[in-house]
Chains A and B, each alone.
Chain A
Amino acid sequence: MLRLFKNSEPGDKPGWFDRLKGGLAKTRTQLGGLFAARRIDESLFEELETALLSADAGVAATEHLITELRKRARKNRLENAEQLKSELHELMVEILSPLEVSIDCGAHRPLIIMVAGVNGAGKTTSIGKLTHLYQRQGHTVLLAAGDTFRAAAREQLAEWGKQNGVTVVSQQSGDPAAVIFDAIQAARARNIGIVLADTAGRLPTQMHLMEEVRKIKRVIRKADEHAPHHVWLVIDANTGQNAVNQVCAFDEAIGLTGIILTKLDGTAKGGVVAAIALARSNQASAQADRGTRQSKDAPVQPIPIAYVGLGEGLDDLRPFVAREFVSALLD
């Protein structure tokens, strides 16, 4: 079932939805603007294809959306473009709704959240924002400075810790897994609710770094056999089709449970969300084509989008709400 439209959380500063709309304004003009006062014809589908492609939806997701829309237009005997637009709206909501997830921060204590991603995606900043969000919800938080590589990464996280008034566990240098292990022990000792573990940026092509992040996860498991309870990939919304590679590569390495999509306050197109939503099913059917997977019909869960980031400030992060997102894209 689709969730009800949920614009904001209690205590939200006003205008979150407006800001999301602001970020996606350009895409909305291009995509939503197509449907004004016209009939459904071949050229409309062509223009729609073009608009989706230039919104970073990617070739595979675009083909999927167009094929599905054509089918529905025929089946429901749609006549004008406005009707097709509502159909697209519904279709997108159907595709994106499974990406919604609600995080139960009280499920474990300490709840251990590991954050990973490519360089400069917004991992450290998102951790700063999550700290603020969770504290506002009444949880206690501790940060683990697992980026022991990049210049001043530790200091950057320390700054976010200071702004939020929480402890940051770090070491002068050394092994990221060990730092995070220590942080978990410290959280236990102080009865802290949530541990957020930062990691260094890495590209999936850097095999030794992908091995390192696997090791981090293994070591976290040694500290708590059910941990990490969440493994989140941070993706910069400006990313093009490589986002799909990132999801697949990190998922394979550390088993993702969620995604944080950052920098939606810019002019990023947002269509990459569709590509991400369909990534796992496309990957699965490709595997099925090659015979490396049992069946094409086995259900594939997409990786949910836990949060979206809309700026560099403490308050600029919210849960992903499919309807809100689709409205910002289309209406």
Chain B
Amino acid sequence: MLDNLTGRLSRVIKTIRGEARLTETNVQEALREVRLALLEADVALPVVREFVARVKEKALGQDVVGSLTPGQALVGVVHEELTALMGGPSATLDLAVAPPAVILVAGLQGSGKTTTTGKLAKLLLDGYRKKPLLVSCDVYRPAAIEQLATLAAQVGADFFPSSTAEKPLAIVLAALDHAKRHYHDVLLVDTAGRLAIDEQMMSEIAELHDALKPVETLFIVDSMQGQDAVNVARAFSEALPLTGIVLTKLDGDARGGAALSVRQVTGKPVKFAGVGEKLNGLEVFHPERMASRILGMGDVLSLVEEARKSVDVDEARKLAEKVKRGKGFDLEDFKQQIAQMRKMGGLSALVDKLPAQLAQAAQSSQVDEGRMRRLEGIINSMTPQERARPELMKASRKRRVAAGAGVTVQEVNRLLTQFEQMQKMMKHMQKGGLQKMMRSMRGMMPGVR
């Protein structure tokens, strides 16, 4: 089943190859595939419609430059538009008021409000060097207050106790008063999960908002949410003046089309991404990464990206095929990959395209440009036979290659080991053995420590 845009379009691309211009007719089928891919990624239908119309308008009449086919050019437009839509400058918390600055979170049941509140407390403590106070006015869900109390203790933030016998409004007013008297910079207010159609609960949170006048009202969205995201977001943004969005559970494998729906409907920036249950699992949101993810471009080598960067697409596709099959991946391919990685702005670009959990594992790693260039040099010093059959590389050949590239034999050895690991990873990837792959991730990529 072709379930990502790359897959869907590679089929269409074949049919519209060799035309010099994007026209109504040659993009028709491709646009249909774009539509289906976005729906498959859970982007809400009204948002998809508007988006596809925009892409069409932009694309029509566009010249197809260089070696690109019309289909690839179209994908380029799709990716750019999507990034632009997700985009806006990377946002931070707005705390520019007389303290305490109040941050209110809101969202559906189980979306991640309480956890995000804990994460924000940690960010405020460690990143902003602020003194936050946490309070929960979830008097409904069993042990909701205790959950926040535990998280507050974990990050070492002050917690304002409340009880299920109290009214949410009374709780937050008391907390606000306490924060003022004890010179807290920020008051973080966790609320109960609520359905957008629950009028009583929606007016409750509107009331809380009126009383607290928060600088930040964050809408917490589960990245696994489906088509209804658009309606829920509309209802929340009508009931509350939202200032931003937090997208949670992005460490999963949902494509996260809800991000686009919510962003489109509310017009508010996605300020953070939740990427784990632990309290350090809060990241700055990357619009570009999200666009790739929605399009299903989490592949190591995606055609779309290749097309955008004007890398020879046939080569890339051949390599992607090899990667998929996990065999025949030789040193020549390895070299090409290194070269492409450098062209794409180093390893970070590649990391962006890895599935989320791998990207996380690789995040702390650093790219060493110089070392990558030396690796290329080593492979360049090998004969074509040696590149195709790395097992030929015995002691004397290694010495020759080392001398040719101006490196030590140890470095040649290290490259060969890395290559072998990479080859293994390709096989695991093919078998879906992600766990093993993650374990061998560190130190596997060339130039990564």
Contacts and interface: CB of A to CB of B under 8 A. Distances in A.
Contact of A59 (B39, B112, B118, B225): B39
Contacts of B45: 50, 53-54
A294 B42 CA distance: 32
B110 interface: yes
A293 B438 CA distance: 28
Interface string B117-160: 01000000000000000000000111110111111001000000
B306 interface: no
Interface in A242-278: 242-243, 245, 263, 265-269, 271-272
A205 B355 contact: yes
A227 interface: no
Contacts of B277: 119, 149-150, 201
Contacts of A156: 141-144, 146-147
Contacts of A53: 39, 45, 227
A275 B232 CA distance: 22
Contacts of A204: 252-253
B109 A56 contact: no
A240 B196 contact: no
B296 to A, nearest CB: 11
Contacts of B114: 151
B36 A267 contact: no
Interface stretch (B254-262, B329-337, B340-348, B373-381): B254-262
A293 to B, nearest CB: 14
Nearest to B194: A266
B146 to A, nearest CB: 4
Contacts of A203: 249, 251-253
Interface residues of B, number: 55
A243 B255 CA distance: 11
A58 B257 CA distance: 13
B251 A118 contact: no
A241 B226 contact: yes
A151 B150 contact: yes
Interface string A141-185: 000000001111101101110010000000000000000000000
Interface string B218-237: 00001011111101100000
A83 interface: no
A59 B150 contact: no
Contacts of B44: 54
A269 B226 contact: yes
B251 A120 contact: no
B357 A56 contact: no
A205 B357 contact: yes
Contacts of A130: none
Contacts of B224: 118, 236, 238-240, 242-243
B1 A119 contact: no
B369 interface: no
Interface in B136-187: 140-144, 146-151, 154
B41 interface: yes
Contacts of B42: 56, 240-242
Interface of A: 26, 50, 53-56, 58-60, 118-122, 128, 149-153, 155-156, 158-160, 163, 201, 203-208, 211, 236, 238-243, 245, 263, 265-269, 271-272, 282, 286, 312
Given A50-B45, A153-B147, 5 more contacts: A151-B146, A159-B143, A207-B435, A242-B255, A243-B226
